[in-house]
Amino acid sequence: MAPVTFEVERTILVLLENRQSANRVDDFLGMFEQDRRIQVVFALGRGSRFERSAESYTRDLDGLLLEAEQVECFEFDLAIAANNSHNSHLEKVRAPTLVIPHGVGFSKIVKAATGYGPPLVRPPVNDAVYSNLVRYGRVIPAAIGVSHENHRAILANVVPESLEVTHLVGDPCLDRALMSRPERERYRQAIGVGDGERLVLLSSSWGRRSLLGRHPGLLEQLMDDLPHDHVAAVNIHPGVWSAHGGRQVHAWLAGARRRGLRVLAESSPWLGLHVAADVVIGDHGSTTYVSSALGTPVLLASGDLTYLAPGSPLEALHRYAPVYEPTRPLMPQIEKAAESRDPQQASLFTSLLTSAPGQSAELLRGLVYRLMDLPEPVGAASLPEVAVPRFVGGGAGEEVSVA
């Protein structure tokens, strides 16, 4: 290790499993990085199916990245992981660990793993799996952050002992998005949306049941049908870039890009694009749900109730939002969805996502400093502002691609 210059009192280790979980940590990490008493370091949590996306994230990180052997040798004052449902080996980390959600709560039923024994009659949901929470007879996380009070019961049903370390922390992603709504026009101008133009955003998760998995030709169809006073953009889940490779994804999107489609760069923050959108064509991904909680009209182009947990936020979205019908013209469906803005429905979606709206900065900062046994800084806690999105291309504010 190089000799240090700044003397610090605490060290936080951030475990990066994939780019989407890293983005969730980014929602609030700035609150601690600016504290001169704290050094933040990073390490890859090996074993995730989207590990390549975490590796690409570290290339843009410019942070102090530790090797796996260093993580197991050194002691830290706190470790933070956004979703440990893959294979972070938290029991090997020599630090109390805070695990926070990386999506919209416990919304998706976990598909049964391959094996020879019978599947469970009651399949678990993401982030509430016994083997993720317990190792060798002990609850591994020192603290589990949840966005909604209802989530305590879900975790307690799986591991009753987890209840004493479960803490309400709100949803910093949604709080940042709501906080940025007054700046909506600034994001739209940066994206290139003019006065009187409508921004149509396609937001796709990963896998065969996602928007791009079910309707791979939808982007081309949209660019064929898009009126001159509409702008189209797409936000693609990091897992798609990770599974197929950026070069291939860019090649598949090249035709639509030449006709004006704005493709959010893999390394770009995504929240600003969703704040700017007038209508979202989406699926069961958390980005689509965040848009619905912002009050943006949503047209569902994929996903169904089969794999969604009863009573979850995503189940509510799929019960209320209109569904895209491939056999009908696309633009009339978009127009109808765009005109169906319902503030009461947005309030419902927000209430299902968090029981502490606008409070995540205060709740998270308090919990983190308690876990480190360090006094909080003077002044109100505040989340980082939402950055302007960057797009694939070669112009100002954009990123160059191979296409």
pLDDT bracket for residue 1 (50, 70, 90): low
Closest CA to 294 of 273, 308, 318: 273
Query: SS3 letters for the chain?
Result: CCCCCCCCCEEEEEEECCHHHHHHHHHHHHHHHCCCCEEEEEEECCCCCCHHHHHHHHHHHCCEEECHHHHHHCCCCEEEEECCCCCCCHHHCCCCEEEECCCCCCCEECCCCCCCCCCCCCCCECCCCHHHHEECCEECCCEEEECCCHHHHHHHHHCHHHHHHEEECCCHHHHHHHHHHHHHHHHHHHHCCCCCCEEEEEEECCCCCCHHHHCCCHHHHHHHHCCCCEEEEEEECHHHHHHHCHHHHHHHHHHHHHCCCEEECCCCCCHHHHHHCCEEEECCCHHHHHHHHCCCCEEECCCCHHHECCCCHHHHHHHHCCECCCCCCHHHHHHHHHCCCCHHHHHHHHHHHCCCCCCHHHHHHHHHHHHHCCCCCCCCCCCCCCCCCCEECCCCCEECCCC
Domain 181-353 has CATH 3.40.50.2000: yes
Lowest mean pLDDT across 180-189, 218-227, 304-313: 304-313
If you average pLDDT over residues 76-98, what whole number do you get?
Answer: 80
| Residue ranges of domains in the chain | 10-171+356-372, 181-353
| Best mean pLDDT range from 99-113, 161-175, 304-318 | 161-175
Judge whether residue 2 has pLDDT over 70. no
pLDDT bracket for residue 397 (50, 70, 90): very low
Tell me the percentage of the chain whose pLDDT exceeds 90: 65
User: Which pLDDT does position 175 carry in this prediction?
Assistant: 96
Lowest mean pLDDT across 44-53, 309-318, 374-383: 44-53
User: Which pLDDT does position 88 carry in this prediction?
Assistant: 52
CATH architecture label of 10-171+356-372: 3-Layer(aba) Sandwich (3.40)
pLDDT tens by residue, 311-337:
889 999 999 999 999 999 999 999 999
Give the integer Cα–Cα distance in Å for 246 and 263.
12
pLDDT tens by residue, 281-299:
999 999 999 999 999 999 9
pLDDT bracket for residue 364 (50, 70, 90): very high
User: Which pLDDT does position 46 carry in this prediction?
Assistant: 67
User: Which pLDDT does position 49 carry in this prediction?
Assistant: 67
User: Which pLDDT does position 265 carry in this prediction?
Assistant: 93
| Best mean pLDDT range from 19-28, 301-310, 370-379 | 370-379
